[in-house]
Amino acid sequence: MSEMRGPISKVRLQRRVQFSETDAAGIVHFSVFFRYFEDAEHALWREAGLSIHPEESAIGWPRVAASCEYRRPLKFEQVFDVTVRIGEMTKRTIAYIGEITSNGERIATGIWKIACVNRLPDGSMKSADIPADVATRLKPSA
C-alpha cells in the first residue's frame, strides 16, 4: 500500500475504444463495459493508496451482483469517460455506481457489489469484515 491520501469515494477515467473491444460492426461488445467499470474501480482503490489484490493477501473481493443499462453504443476510436463512485459500504460489502459518458451523453450506467472474504487454504471463501485500513480509505459518496 502507498501513503494515506484521505478517504476516496469517486474517480473518473478517460479512455478511447480499442479495436479489440469491438464486434464486426465496430461497436463495443456489451461485456466490455464491465471491464471499463472494473478498471475505474481499481483506479479508485489506487487513488486511495490501496490495491484490491495485494500479493499474498488472505482476503479477496468477489463480485456478488452486477448489472448494466445500455443507452447508446460506443464505437471504435470513440473517446469516453468512466466514473465510478462508492454508493454504499457495509461491514462486509461495497456497492458501486458507474457511469460511462461521451461528449456529455450518457452511454451506460452500472451497479455492482463486492464482498470481502477470507480465502481459506482449501480454496473456499468465507465472508469477512472489511479491514479497517480499507474502510478508512474508501467512503460512500454523499
Ranges of H-type helices in 51-130: none
The one-letter amino acid at 119: R
Per annotation, catalytic residue among 23, 39, 122, 133: 23
User: Following DSSP, what letter does each residue of 76-94 receive, concatenated?
Assistant: TT-EEEEEEEEEEE-SSEE
Judge whether 39 counts as a catalytic residue. no
Distance between CA 125 and CA 93 in Å, rounded? 14
Distance between CA 114 and CA 102 in Å, rounded? 27
Return the active site residues. Answer: 23
